[in-house]
């Protein structure tokens, strides 16, 4: 029941015995201001008409806040319909409209049955709405046309509830207490992920692997639901940084597949002699991203996850491989060995660097004699490994290396600041550089990874530019992002962090630079990429499945095969939109019109979502 004047919800059993309550006055998540009506949805959630806040609020059965949305005016009552919609009743004599919303808060339609004060509404099994009109002393019946066939109700989805997260004083240990709620599954699979700074991109994901104590029955395939569990994660062992913010998420899966899809079975027609089974709604990039979260957290054996990229399991670089073993090496700068003596450095953080020694054996050291332009030696907040930091002033290191075609240039870097123009990790004295530009990562003049790769702060980019004398190719994290191979460019004398024609500061870290005076073969380029990936915990894969927040075509094919699905053909989608009426789309006679000439436009008579503007539909392969 809605306890209006106390701004809370109270729960009783069927005998009237008090069980629990939740809510305080306010407009924050979980708070309410004079809640009036409520109703239970078929998944057990509680939908509340939060009267004075002009909004709908949804809780789970235990009172945990789930979501909210603004409704057009105050509402006295709420009715969950049996077609997947939610109806809110008018706010009084001055506003007697009825308003329909999707479960995610998307506005559908409204109509006004006339004045008379708030009137109760019920939903019959066939979807018909019955309004007991207080002002007219009549029952008014409204037959649905927006949906007429409801997808079969699925079992309840596991709902992980994080109760507390606390860092033990003086340690890197995080004590995490949580409960997984699931009314119809006594045991589920559970796993843990962490996200840097609350980000959602794969580049922000940290996989907890090191725990204090046993996690059997807490983070495995046999976790009891409805019980409180506590695990202790040694975050410092898996996230080697000095400080930062993490968001920790518990993931759970019951015995259903990786996606909770509703499938519709459309009958055979004169033009189609077989039935068509197809997903009611399309799968989106966000759906695929959540699958990757689960596969990463649960340690799925068919993938590897390194440097924020999901990819096929890769073979490592050959044992003992070194860039020096690849012929033509002209420059090798390693932030782990700034003085080039073959030993890891012991340099104080924030120390200025005058010379970055060339480990290739040449005299092309990166140098800077002007004190104010010297970069600093830093521990990279990405992973606690060393790097040279070039800030937003004049920091730069000049080399004496004059590079002409053919060449291969490799640079591992990250940039930490937002900007409106270009920034340079490595640059030539002509119009040539590698680094971020606007919101992309690229190589001028070859072009930018503008179609699929958007720049993100606080992640490594392993960029490789290859020129064979007649054409150029540009790779980021192992993927070819060449935009225009005919614009070959010539770097001439190269600089680090700034310099060259554009002279724009990187404002970020450089971990390693490698230059060859020849175009590396694919095999050698692949070995160099794997070597750097292993050394710096950076992303690299010649066969990526997913990166940032996007899934590649190869990754989509992998996930669909994993779930025994395939993408529906254009003909199958058209047939599903047409329903059972050959040659038409949604052309069935409505018996209830709110507005003149209104037709259902988003879902046809079989419940198929025809209004989606993104995503793709799937059909089973078995």
Q: For residue 336, what pLDDT is reported?
A: 95
**CB hemisphere CA count around 452 (13 angstroms):** 17
User: Which 8-state DSSP code applies to residue 6?
Assistant: G
Residue 229 makes CB contacts below 8 A (sequence gap 6+) with 177, 178, 179, 180, 217, 218, 223
User: Which helix (H) or strand (E) is 286 found in, with range?
Assistant: helix 285-297
Residue pLDDT, tens place only, 74-95 = 888 899 887 778 988 865 556 6
What percent of the chain stands above pLDDT 90? 43
Read off the pLDDT band of 121 (50, 70, 90). confident
Q: What would you measure as the largest C-alpha separation in the chain, in angstroms?
A: 96
Contact 163/178 with Cβ under 8 angstroms? yes
Nearby residues of 493 by Cβ (< 8 Å), 6 or more positions away: 398, 399, 400, 401, 402, 403, 428, 429
**Regarding predicted confidence, which is higher, 501 or 511?**
511
Whether residue 344 is predicted with pLDDT greater than 80 in this model: the reply is yes
Secondary structure E strands in 23-124: 35-40, 46-50, 55-59, 65-70, 78-80, 85-88, 98-102, 107-111, 121-123
- Evaluate if residue 103 carries a pLDDT over 50: yes
* Residue 531 banded pLDDT, cuts 50, 70, 90: very high
Q: Please report which confidence band the pLDDT of residue 440 belongs to, taking 50, 70 and 90 as the band edges.
A: confident
* Confidence at residue 442, expressed as pLDDT on a 0 to 100 scale: 79
Q: Domains in the chain, start-ordered, CATH in brackets? A: 2-142 (2.120.10.30), 152-256 (2.60.40), 260-314+549-622 (no CATH), 323-540 (2.60.120.200)
Give the lowest-confidence range in 53-57, 149-153, 194-198, 364-368.
149-153
pLDDT score for 435: 86
Say whether pLDDT at 398 is over 80. yes
- Stretch 178-199: mean pLDDT, rounded? 90
- Rounded CA-CA distance 529/521 in Å is 12
Q: How confident is the model at residue 252 (pLDDT cuts 50, 70, 90)?
A: very high
**Dist CA 35 CA 52 (whole Å):** 7
Residues 332 and 352: their CA atoms lie apart, in Å, by 20
pLDDT tens track for 575-584? 888 764 544 4
Residue 245: predicted pLDDT = 86
Q: What does the pLDDT average to over 265-280? A: 79
Q: Pick the more confident residue, 599 or 125.
A: 125
| Higher-pLDDT residue of 214, 504 | 214
User: pLDDT tens for residues 293-337?
Assistant: 999 999 999 998 987 889 888 778 889 999 999 999 999 999 999
| Rounded to 5°, angle at Cα 282 from 451 and 182 | 115
DSSP 8-state symbol, 127:
S
Question: Does an H or E element contain 578, and which?
Answer: helix 570-578
Residue 437 or residue 466, greater confidence: 466
pLDDT recorded at residue 484: 79
Which structure tokens are listed for 411? 């640079």
Paired tokens of 107: 């506005």
For tokens 């506005």, the residue is: 107
* Residue 162 predicted with pLDDT over 70: yes
Do the Cβ atoms of 139 and 131 come closer than 8 Å? yes
Q: Are 151 and 242 in contact (CB under 8 A)?
A: no
- Local confidence band at 589 (pLDDT 50, 70, 90 cut-offs): very low
Q: Does 594 have pLDDT greater than 70?
A: no
Best-predicted range by mean pLDDT (68-77, 98-107, 282-291, 571-580)? 282-291
Q: In this predicted structure, what is the pLDDT of residue 601?
A: 47
Report the range out of 22-36, 472-486, 539-553 with the highest average pLDDT: 22-36
pLDDT of residue 447: 62
d(CA 402, CA 492): 5
- pLDDT class for 504, splitting at 50, 70, 90? confident
Is pLDDT of 49 > 70? yes
Residue whose C-alpha is closest to residue 90's, from 111, 70, 71, 75: 75
| pLDDT, average across residues 339-350 | 92
Go through 266-293 and write b for each residue having 16 or more CB atoms within 10 A of its CB, e for each that does not. beebeebeeebebbbbbbeeebbbebbb
Mean pLDDT to the nearest integer, 179-199 = 90
pLDDT for 362 equals 85
pLDDT of residue 227: 94
Map tokens 């090191």 to a residue.
210
Average pLDDT, integer, range 162-175: 92
How much is the pLDDT for 296? 96
Closest CA to 265 of 149, 148, 102: 149
How far apart CA 405 and CA 61 sit, in angstroms, is 67
Which pair of tokens denotes residue 286? 């966000």
Q: Which of 472-476, 579-583, 594-598, 600-604 has the lowest mean pLDDT?
A: 594-598
Place of tokens 């996850």: 305
Assign 421 a pLDDT band (cuts: 50, 70, 90): low
On the question of pLDDT at 176 being above 80, the answer is: yes
Residue 286 has pLDDT above 60, yes or no: yes
Residue partners of 202: CB distance under 8 A and separation at least 6: 289, 292, 296, 305, 308, 309, 310, 546, 547, 548, 549
Q: Which residues are 266's β-sheet partners?
A: 276
- Helix or strand holding residue 291 (H, E): helix 285-297
Euclidean distance between CA atoms 550 and 453, whole angstroms: 9
Confidence of residue 271 (pLDDT cuts 50, 70, 90): low
What is the CA angle 262-268-271, rounded to 5? 125
pLDDT attached to residue 288: 96
CB 308 within 8 A of CB 202: yes
């Amino acid at each position: 029941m809605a306890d209006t004047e106390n701004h809370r919800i109270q729960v009783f059993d069927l005998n009237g015995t008090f069980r629990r309550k939740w809510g305080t006055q306010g407009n924050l998540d979980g708070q309410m201001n004079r809640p009036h009506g409520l109703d239970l949805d078929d998944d057990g959630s509680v939908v509340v008409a939060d009267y004075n806040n002009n909004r709908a609020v949804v809780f789970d059965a235990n009172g945990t806040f789930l979501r909210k949305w603004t409704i057009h005016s105050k509402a006295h009552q709420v009715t969950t319909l049996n077609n997947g919609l939610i109806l809110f009743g008018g706010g009084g004599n001055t506003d007697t409209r009825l308003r329909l919303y999707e479960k995610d808060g998307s506005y559908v339609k409204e109509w006004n049955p006339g004045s008379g004060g708030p009137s109760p509404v019920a939903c019959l099994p066939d979807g018909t709405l019955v309004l007991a009109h207080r002002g007219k002393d009549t029952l008014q019946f409204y037959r649905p046309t927006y949906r007429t066939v409801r997808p079969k109700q699925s079992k309840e989805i596991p709902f992980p509830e994080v109760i507390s997260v606390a860092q033990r004083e003086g340690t890197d240990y995080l004590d995490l207490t949580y409960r997984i709620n699931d009314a119809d599954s006594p045991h589920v699979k559970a796993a843990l992920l962490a996200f840097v700074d609350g980000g959602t991109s794969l580049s922000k994901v940290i996989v907890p692997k090191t725990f204090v104590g046993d996690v059997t029955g807490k983070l495995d395939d046999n976790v009891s639901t409805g019980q409180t569990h506590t695990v202790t994660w040694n975050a410092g062992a898996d996230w080697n940084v000095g400080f930062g913010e993490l968001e920790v998420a518990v993931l759970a899966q019951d015995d259903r597949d990786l996606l909770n899809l509703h499938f519709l079975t459309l009958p055979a027609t004169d033009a189609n002699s077989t039935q068509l089974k197809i997903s009611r709604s399309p799968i989106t990039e966000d759906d695929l991203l959540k699958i990757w979260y689960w596969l990463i957290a649960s340690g799925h054996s068919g993938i590897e996850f390194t440097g924020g990229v999901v990819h096929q399991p890769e073979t490592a670089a050959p044992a003992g491989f070194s860039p020096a073993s690849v012929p033509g090496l002209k420059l090798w700068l390693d932030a782990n060995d700034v003085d080039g003596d073959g030993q890891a450095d012991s340099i104080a953080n924030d120390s200025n660097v005058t010379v970055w020694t060339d480990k290739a054996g040449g005299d092309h050291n990166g140098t800077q004699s002007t004190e104010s332009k010297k970069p600093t030696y830093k521990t990279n907040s990405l992973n606690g490994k060393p790097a040279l930091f070039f800030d937003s002033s004049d920091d730069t290191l000049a080399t004496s290396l004059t590079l002409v075609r053919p060449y291969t240039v490799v640079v591992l870097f990250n940039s930490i600041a937002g900007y409106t123009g270009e920034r340079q990790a490595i640059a030539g004295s002509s119009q040539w550089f590698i680094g971020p530009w606007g919101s992309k990562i690229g190589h001028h003049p070859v072009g930018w990874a503008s179609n699929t790769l958007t720049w993100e702060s606080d992640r490594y980019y392993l960029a490789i530019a290859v020129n064979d004398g007649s054409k150029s190719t540009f790779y980021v994290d192992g993927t070819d992002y060449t935009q225009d191979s005919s614009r070959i460019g010539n770097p001439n004398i190269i600089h680090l962090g700034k310099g060259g024609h554009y002279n724009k500061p990187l404002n970020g870290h450089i971990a390693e630079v490698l230059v060859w005076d020849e175009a590396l073969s694919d095999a050698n380029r692949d070995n160099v990429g794997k070597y750097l990936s292993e050394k710096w915990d950076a992303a690299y894969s010649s066969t990526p499945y997913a990166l940032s927040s996007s899934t590649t075509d190869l990754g989509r094919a992998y996930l669909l095969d994993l779930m025994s699905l395939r993408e529906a053909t254009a003909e199958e989608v058209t047939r599903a939109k047409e329903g059972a009426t050959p040659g038409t789309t949604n052309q069935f006679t409505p018996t209830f019109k709110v507005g003149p000439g209104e037709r259902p436009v988003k879902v046809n008579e079989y419940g198929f979502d025809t209004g989606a503007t993104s995503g793709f539909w799937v059909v089973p392969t078995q």
